[in-house]
Structure 1
Amino acid sequence: MRDGRARDGRKKDDPRARLLAEDDRIWLALADGSRRQMLDRLREGPRSTAQLCAEFPWLARTAVMKHLERLVEAGLVLVRREGRRRINVLHPVPLVEIVDRWVSPYAKDRVERFRRLAEHIESQRASATEDGAGEQREARQGEGVDA
């Protein structure tokens, strides 16, 4: 890394390397169940650090603060001060960007596959219905009954 390159071999000032580093911070923040639970609580509304400590009694205060620090570093939580209190607020923009960049393209592909499958099934049904109607007409004509 002495030559100014990131772990993946890209130059550190490369915008793609910066974007990957930001993505990594978000994924790492989301990798921990306690942090995901904190995000769920913050989705309900802003919470002070003391409130979050009370809502996670199995975690030490220092652990809650460390988790919040990771969420802030990832850009998922914003902190505002009210006197001596720290108010933590969910910042969903990085999550939306992750979904747009990493999840949506795969979901769109899956939706397209289901659409094509549905069209195929429908064409098979239509063809089977037409075949069945043709066989019924032939049977009636063989019996001397006009359709």
Structure 2
Amino acid sequence: MQTEDLAKIGFGVVVVLAIIGGIVTVGGPATGRMEKRDQARLSDIRALQNYVTCVARARDKTLPDSLDGNNECRRELDRTDPFDGTPYVYRKLSETSYELCANFELPDALSTWQRPQLDPETGCLQYEFIP
């Protein structure tokens, strides 16, 4: 083999290793699909948070006990995960705080930048309603 052929082979090996390293680092297409589904869940949670705020303002600044039967703020909301069919969870924690929860596939990735902070173990985001 000539030096030129070895250089081509070496370059090919470097390119293949760089591609493999990139896929390992970012996770590949499957991770991208999971991230996209988590973003959709997060969008649903934000819509529910806006709904809870609207209901609380309409009810003399009182948080609802549940998301059911609230006619003050008529909105079509996704209350169940569109990907696995599980319902999103709303829990009133106090007179001014509550949490909304979902089954995130990559909660650790979301918890690094999401505010309010996402608890990766429970998939819950805690909110404060300020009357």
Taking structure 1 as the reference length, the TM-score comes to 0.28
- Give the number of the structure whose alpha-carbon radius of gyration is greater: 1
Structure (1 or 2) with the greater helix fraction: 1
Considering Cα pairs closer than 8 Å and 6+ residues apart, tell me whether 1 or 2 has the greater RCO. 2
